[in-house]
Structure 1
């Protein structure tokens, strides 16, 4: 009997991106039992992560380019953004290809509604509410499988666990606090009876030395001394990891090591924060939070991190006193907890508000609205979801609801004008509209570009616009 056609997953990005591919690999094993899965990834990340990830065969990009195009595949999922990944995806013969692929004509096209959605929120993610771990999978994983997935709760702190890891690194300086912050945080944790440990890769060795020096107290500094496998093992005995948005944060979440994510810089915890339920996110209350790229002279959210307030939250979590954080007042900060909704989708629950109080901040209501619109349009959420989200926006922020309806009318006029002219929008199309309609404008821009302005693409764009606009009628 012939072996089933395999599946190829291409993820050539950083360690954190590879770790966020692990839920997809788990779901593929359940939804496509018996099919071999090959993951194309950077060997520097794939090799040490192999023992803790779902079963798969890992290849480098070079190895994959030499072998995979010669075999028929059932499915190719390209999660990479580099041209080499798209070239490989287009070269592998497959019944279905999701994500960017370069075709015989040399053009790059994106397969899958959700993969196209993810591409469309680049620089337009202010109201993005789908996590990247989900976006990796939503085009192929049945909704029932998502809803039926249960994730083990992370290990809680308690009297027998006093060590708190402080991870100093991140892929961009804007995403991480500096050594002075971690030195002050270490002193605060010691004052609260805990044992902080400085952690980081080889690139953070200098940061660790500087933080240890500035702390002025005896401090364990393991920056540059642990590989990924050793870090995962070391975390099994620790109460908590305090970390910016970085690969080791996702490693901790995957292995059940509870995380307090300091979400600062050009990141959105809705999209790339800890994925599994039971972890925490702390971020300053600023209108610009969750951006794709910081345009301010200084990274205000990062610079406003307060080691005393971070230390308070970290100490509560490390001691297993989660319940005492419910409704806690953390001036100028908001504390969120990762959770899963009734559809198996990852959400962030407010923690630092009085119990029973639902925040009506316009930004969150708009984000919930677009989450529901796209979820229903792509068959993930029921028909009632966008109507309920629109009603919640109208009740919580009536002026914003009215303004969004007017901006949608402008978008509809622009779409009708381009349809009459046969014009395909350029990369500036979505930027011309207010951020509130950014998700829809960005998706329509990408949809029409991806379809070369074809009639099916225009009909799909008009149908999606009509669905959204109808929620503001009357």
Structure 2
């Protein structure tokens, strides 16, 4: 007797689909014998099929077939209302993610899917990667921890071609044309040969970069499909790219990535997922959790200079991390990607100023939520809080001073089972937003039931006991 399929709804962009590939692999190993079906945009999944895990893809037009089946598990990773409606309509043994009932009310199922929704416009201190959040509700942490991702390729030092992917989904997430042209000059001056890449939308950018540069450069913008990009990538030493779908494809295919993480992206969430890639991020406060820029210009772009990027690229192709770590670049931090003792994505700070207060607090919230949802015990949260309070005593005291007000708010809510004001999470200090954003959405998702208020008080009491330890 055949086993019921597992259905994943992933109707987002190409990068989101590639970041779902680890989930597909883990589902195959965790639910042996169950077919894995994925609903995705055909323009994204079809060219990725040669490198995708072995799943069965369906376009949205294939709903007629999907409605004929019952499922072992449905995982909705999409933000579209149509996907929530479909997840609610289909019959399954378990469901995760947004699912709508017949009357149109939508609830988010799964602790980690709810947590992920709570970091929308609230991700300053989030330290969980999207690829991990896709899986934590249904894949045992032990299986994630046993996964060994291959290292990126290292070619002979005589192979000196460097790929530059010019575009991104938003202008704020990519360097300017003048930057790319100057970077071509800096790379060439250090013995590296730049090659320009981009999709059809970047053809004009490629022409302008080559024209302004005026030197020898191969312009492949708009000339390759994704399969051909993977093939050409086998001959590149390095791929310098903003946070975009082809960056994730490069990392997945074994091409070493230097991610220029600029604009409204968070590399802890969407950085190159495999091991030993490099991420560069501005150190300014507004760049550490920006959802959309509200300033008069993109100040987070300023520290990214072509000469700096070329120096890092040269040391990367020599495979010399110690040399990278010695680079002094005020205004920038360099990170190296790896997976921690639990198998979860992590960024190792290797150059720039010391570990920031934001990274330390992010580590605390990661440990706190992981323990709250049963991944591990609270000892890691206690240790992370100890490090934060020792290094940032003023901020730690401020967090402690705010605890009584939070406690009063939650106790009042339990007594009345009353909704919180819409501004509750956003009006709280940034130090607490990771916590209050989740709490607010959790209560809304559970219709402010008495049981949900009791759960909130339990989370608060555990938090208070951690923060008050000296």
TM-score (norm 2): 0.97
Match of 1:247 in 2: 245
Equivalent residues of 1:261, 1:282 under 8 A apart: yes
Aligned equivalents of 1:173 and 1:36: distance in 2?
Answer: 39
2:153 aligned counterpart, secondary structure: coil
Is 1:472 matched up with 2:467? yes
Pick aligned residue for 1:370 from 365, 370, 390: 365
Q: Quick check: 1:463 aligned with 2:458?
A: yes
Whether contact under 8 Å (2:414, 2:450) holds in the other structure is no
Alignment of 1:129-168 (within 5 A): 129-168=127-166
Partner of 2:293: 294
Residue among 270, 273, 283 paired with 2:271: 273
SS class of match (1:329): coil
* Superposed counterparts of 1:119-138, under 5 Å: 119-138=117-136
Equivalence for 1:54: 53
Matched, 1:422 2:421: no
Q: Is the 8 A contact 2:84 2:98 kept in 1?
A: yes
Q: Secondary structure at the match of 2:351?
A: coil
Distance 1:275 1:106, change over 3 A: same
Distance 1:80 1:426, change over 3 A: farther
CA distance in 1, matches of 2:283, 2:352: 13
User: Displacement of 1:18 after TM fit?
Assistant: 0.2
Q: Which moved more, 1:181-190 or 1:450-459?
A: 450-459
Mark the runs of 5 or more structure 1 residues left unpaired by the alignment: none
Match of 2:444 in 1: 449
1:426 shift after superposition:
4.9
1:360: Cα distance to partner?
4.5
Residue aligning to 1:322: 321
The equivalent residue for 1:342 is 341
2:189 corresponds, among 188, 191, 200, to 191
The superposition leaves residues 21-52 of structure 1 with CA deviations (integer Å, 9 ceiling, x where unpaired) of 00000100111111000000000010010110
Look up the match of 1:264: 262
Matched residue of 1:70: which SS?
A: coil
Comparing 149-158 and 274-283, the one that deviates more: 149-158
Cross-structure match for 1:309: 308
- Within a 5 Å distance, the mapping from 1:30-45 to structure 2 comes to 30-45=29-44
RMSD: 1.3
Is 1:360–1:396's contact at 8 Å kept on the other side of the alignment?
no
Distance across 1 between alignment mates of 2:325 and 2:247: 23
Asked whether the 8 Å contact 2:330–2:352 carries over to 1, the reply is: no
Distance 1:427 1:51, change over 3 A: farther
Unaligned runs of 5+ in 2: none
Judge conservation of contact 1:200–1:223 (CA < 8 Å) in 2: yes
Q: State the number of aligned residues.
A: 468
Q: Deviations over 1:71-91 (max 9, x none)?
A: 110100000001011111111
Three-state SS of the structure 1 residue aligned to 2:54 is: coil
Q: CA deviation at 1:70?
A: 2.5
Q: Per-residue deviation at 1:319?
A: 3.1
Provide the secondary structure at the position in 2 that maps to 1:39.
strand
User: How big is the shift at 1:379?
Assistant: 1.2
Cα separation, 2, equivalents of 1:374 and 1:49: 34
